[in-house]
Structure 1
Amino acid sequence: MLEQVTKDYAAYFKLDVSEGLETVQEVIDNMITRLEELTSVVHMIKLKNSDCNSSVSDDINRYRGEVNTLSKKIVTLNEVIVILHQNVEKVETQVEKAEIYFGVNNDNKLTSLLRPFLKKNKDLITMSNETPSLETLTITSVLDNFENNS
């Protein structure tokens, strides 16, 4: 009887390890295959990336001078715009002083232009009694900017 019990319990401990290992081996093989595919894809990406890096670097080096020249021209144009804006402000200030002195109403340019012909003398806007100070209007030239940076 003892021998029978040991045989029964021994049957519990007998494992078919090869059957269990086959599925594990299949999973491992599938994983290795996927990792190899991923490695090849990563390798291709690295090659393409290095090709792109070299071509972009070559383009940057090739066009560096043109980009520098273009940026200098942009800076020059910005300076010209600032100077022109200042000149326009100076002229507008002088025009406003002249309009006040001559009594020009600036509501509608066409009607203010034709007002002396359409209205009688008594309807005209009265002129200012103050004489505007005659200032020499100095307008800064922008041509120097283009000659220096061409």
Structure 2
Amino acid sequence: MGQKHLTKTHREIIERLLGEKSLRSIADLLGYSPAAISKEIRRNANKNGRYDAQAAQRRADWRASKDKNAGKRTAFLTAYVQEGLRNYWSPEQIAGRLRQEFPEDPARHISFKSIYRWISKDSRQYEKGRPLRGFG
């Protein structure tokens, strides 16, 4: 136990062993809880109930790539973060300034971790410009 996400190799092992071994023995072998293995199979089985490791990996990659904070990414916050980065402020400074300047407006607050995620996502998404790096 202790791992957080299943790997491609783990998914292939699950697919191979599903008909031969119990969920509990597969979980013990891989070091996950039986509930985690059961959830993986339920979440990624096809319409016929068959588990396909490659399809499960594609679905997991797609879910991981989704921007979970897309609703927080307002025009105001994007502009504020861009301006802060242009002024060479760190994401910690930007997040702190937002809380200081708008203490009563939580919609204008954002964590520094979210800013780092935005920067990382934008650097992967755009080859040039990279809007949240402050050079866009």
TM-score normalised by the chain length of structure 1: 0.22
Give the structure, 1 or 2, with the largest relative contact order (CA under 8 Å, sep 6 or more): 1
TM-score normalised by the chain length of structure 2: 0.24
**Structure having the higher Rg:** 1
More helix per residue: 1
